[in-house]
Amino acid sequence: MKNIGIDLGSRYVKLVKETNGNIEYKLFDTVSFYKQYIARDGANTYINIKKLGFNDDYKIVATGYGRNLMSFSNAEIISEIKAHFRGALRQTGDDSFILMDIGGQDSKVILGKEGYIEDFIMNDKCAASTGRFAENACSVLGISIDELSEMQHNPASLSSTCAVFCESELIGLMAQGVEIESIAAGINKSIAKRLLPLIKSFQADTIYVSGGVANNKSLILFISQLIGKNVMPLNNPQFNGALGCLPL
Amino acid sequence: MKRIGFTTTIPVEFILAGGNIPVDLNNIFVCSPNPNHLIDEAQNDGLPRNCCSWIKGLYSVAVKEKAVDEIISVTNGDCSNTHALTELYAANNIKVHLFAYPYEEKEPYTALKNQMLVLGSAFNVTFDDVYECCKITDKVRKKLKKIDELTVQGYVTGFENHLYLVSSTDFNSDVDKFSKDADELIEKASKRNIENKYVRLGCIGVPTINPAMYDFIESKNCKIVFNEVQRQFSIPSENPDYVKRYLEYTYPYSVMDRIKDIKKQVQERKIDGLIHYVQSFCYRQIQDILIKKHLDIPVLTIEGDSPGDIDGRTKIRIDSFIEMLEMKKKKRSI
């Protein structure tokens, strides 16, 4: 069995290759991936598997933002909701749970019951609960995403409702001498607060988190505190969508 | 013969019986060659960016395009932005008549009848004139019911259903032509082959500002068999008492009345899932909470802002929703 699963995200392209049960993980910058590995042959657009270093005999299933815009002659396309749900089924072995995926550009919560998608909800048109917001905030504060993940003490209160305006609020807090750790903890808490209404839409005891943002330990802590339940990041949170493209 | 504009559905027979031309300002706005330009014009005059596009369109068609001679502003039963819009109309020397659907009045029937009497005196129309006019419009409304039935059966598309029901608020300003167009659609649609679609969807909420969503949805294995508010706009009640028809019309009243109507239609039309369209910055977005709470069928909420195609994000949601409904239906049928 030779399969490739690809999750074409807004920030990163996640690729998993499964050969006889062994899985290999690859991460690409989205823009570089499109430039290097998406090719055209007449009217057909395809993923240049040979250039990626693989043989032609892999079955490719892809998902990602802009499913309706994507059409590759050598890949089957499935929806992000389906891919993330299947990824969680595969990674956890559970069949009933809430999965929260925090992506680069959107957040979604999926309710799974007995192996089927029962319902799902996505964030409204706002970037303030996404990975992109965390990235921008880090660049304003001059810290890395890994450093942000550690910051949870004495969270500063952030009042701005908008990811763009929030940047000037961060600068204002720095100008007032508020400690970077406190501001960063405030960012983590504000993302958690924005995600709360999405998670509260559904009832289930088991809550998993996927997406690159799931690696942010402090954010996971704030979400757990706010909903009063244990929230568990998946093992390979960033690759969950790509794993969901592989056969179960 | 004056062109009488209105901000949302009103008892249109009061305009027709007076020999005037009804003009639903919403339809004029959204069907204009460049509706986004009308929004820009309103914003250039100072209407806020975070104000519903319909209000901005309604402002520009009347103030900038001068599409009508007088306006009936609905001050109860629709959004309170209409109050400020009414003030802007008046400031631009447009003659405005007010019309208020009853809201928690002790005697809603009397309150609504009084509102109609005020409208009647403004246009020199009596209830007898209105009932006489209904002899013509009731026949057209029956055709709209036929179109709706054909939609449920699969002959008429979700978009055609939307278009005819939503246009019935002013009968496209020409009752005779509208009636003939409806006949043509019924005849044409009845001869079509029914395409077997697996998922049956309903659309609830205010009419979308992005009607392109209909073709997108129906390009999937899916049929739209219900347009909630558009159907209400066509005044489906056949009550012999004209006032009661507009009390049975659900749109201007409590969301709980709308939910009752939706539940009934979901059952009768065998609907698998609902798409709740909400307009950016509209107060009705809040009612989504109650809609989701009280309806025990999957509801996908989508939001639109400006006219044009639906964005990629909304397409992903709709796609995933239909996919989920397909999976659920297959599971149930095992």
Has residue A70 got a pLDDT over 80?
no
The predicted pLDDT at position A131 comes to: 82
A236 touches chain B (CB under 8 A): no
Domains of chain A, residue spans: 2-78, 95-237
- Cα(B79)–Cα(B60) distance, rounded to whole angstroms? 18
- Report pLDDT for A64: 83
Kindly report the average pLDDT of chain B as a whole number. 95
Q: Is the dihedral of CA B262, B268, B274, B278 positive or negative?
A: negative
Spatial CA neighbour of A9 closest among A243, A246, A241:
A241
Q: Give the gap in angstroms from C-alpha B324 to the nearest C-alpha of chain A.
A: 6
pLDDT tier for residue B242 given thresholds of 50, 70 and 90: very high
Quote the pLDDT of residue B130: 98
Q: Which residue has the higher pLDDT, B22 or A198?
A: B22
Domains and CATH numbers, chain B: 3-125 (3.40.50.11890), 128-333 (3.40.50.11900)
Which residues of chain B are within 8 Å of residue A118 when distances are taken between CB atoms? 328
User: What is the biggest distance separating any 2 CA atoms in chain A, rounded to whole angstroms?
Assistant: 60
Phi, psi of B249 (to 5 degrees): -65, 125
Q: Tell me what pLDDT residue A123 has.
A: 76
pLDDT at B293: 93
How many Cα atoms sit within 13 Å of A157 on the Cβ side? 1
What gap in Å lies between CA B187 and CA B331, rounded to an integer?
A: 38
Token pair of A146, please? 């890994």
Q: C-alpha dihedral over B328, B276, B251, B154, to 10 degrees?
A: -50
Confidence of residue B283 (pLDDT cuts 50, 70, 90): very high
Q: How far is CA B280 from CA A71, B94, B203, in A?
A: 31, 27, 17
**Residues B86, B92, B93, CA angle at the centre, nearest 5°?**
95
B232 close to B161: Cβ distance less than 8 angstroms: no
Whether the Cβ atoms of residue B282 and residue B301 lie closer than 8 Å to each other: no
Per-residue pLDDT, A66:
55
**pLDDT band of B83, cuts 50, 70, 90:** very high
Task: Name the band, by pLDDT with cuts 50, 70 and 90, for residue A67.
Answer: low
Neighbours of A94 (CB within 10 A): 13
Diameter over CA atoms, chain B: 65
Q: What is the pLDDT of residue B311?
A: 85
CB contact under 8 A, A116 and B331: yes
Q: How far apart are the first and last CA of chain B?
A: 62
Prediction pTM value: 0.87
Q: Which amino acid is at A25?
A: Y
Q: How far is residue B208's CA from residue B304's CA, in Å, rounded to a whole number?
A: 7
B→A interface, C-beta within 8 Å = 280, 292, 298, 303, 312-313, 315-317, 319-321, 323-324, 327-328, 331
Chain centroid to CA B104: 23
Q: Residue B44: enclosing H or E segment and its boundaries?
A: helix B35-44
Are B228 and B261 a contacting pair, CB within 8 Å?
A: yes
* Bridge partners for B186 per DSSP: none
Q: Per-residue pLDDT for A104 more than 90?
A: no
Alpha-carbon dihedral sign for residues A47, A52, A57, A63: negative
Q: In A, which residues are within 8 Å of B319 by CB distance? A: 67-68, 79
C-alpha to C-alpha distances, B129 to B137, B170, B278, nearest whole angstrom: 12, 18, 37
Terminus-to-terminus CA distance in chain A, angstroms?
12
Q: Is the pLDDT of residue A207 over 90?
A: yes
> Is the pLDDT confidence value at A43 over 80?
yes
Average pLDDT over residues B266-289: 95
The hierarchical CATH code for the domain A95-237 is 3.30.420.40
Helices (H), B77-227: 81-91, 108-123, 127-153, 158-167, 175-190, 212-218
B331 contacts in A (CB within 8 Å)? 116
Q: Are B251 and B245 in contact (CB under 8 A)?
A: no
The pLDDT score that the predictor gives to residue A111 is 93
Q: Report which of residues B18 and A115 the model is more confident about.
A: B18
pLDDT at residue A124 in the model: 67
Q: How many CB pairs under 8 A join A and B?
A: 43
Q: What pLDDT score does B322 carry?
A: 93
The DSSP result for A3-59, as a single string, is EEEEEE-SSEEEEEEEETTEEEEEEEEHHHHHHHHEEEETTEEEE-TTTTT--TT-E
The interface predicted TM-score (ipTM) is: 0.74
Write down the pLDDT at residue A69: 63
User: Best residue in B285, B321, B323, B324 to probe A by mutation, most A CBs within 10 Å?
Assistant: B324
Rg (C-alpha) for chain A, rounded Å, is 19
B-chain CB neighbours of A201 within 8 Å are: 292
Query: Could you give the 3-state DSSP secondary structure of residue A138?
Result: helix
- Strand pairing partners for A46? A39
Q: B312 and A68 in contact by Cβ < 8 A? A: yes
Whether residue A125 is predicted with pLDDT greater than 70 in this model: the reply is: no
Domains A2-78 and A95-237 share a fold: yes
- What pLDDT, on a 0 to 100 scale, did the predictor assign at position A68? 60
The CATH number of the domain covering residues in A2-78: 3.30.420.40
Mean pLDDT, rounded, for A142-157: 94
Percent of chain B with pLDDT over 90: 91
- Spatial neighbors of B184 by CB under 8 A, at least 6 apart, are none
CB B154 within 8 A of CB B220: no
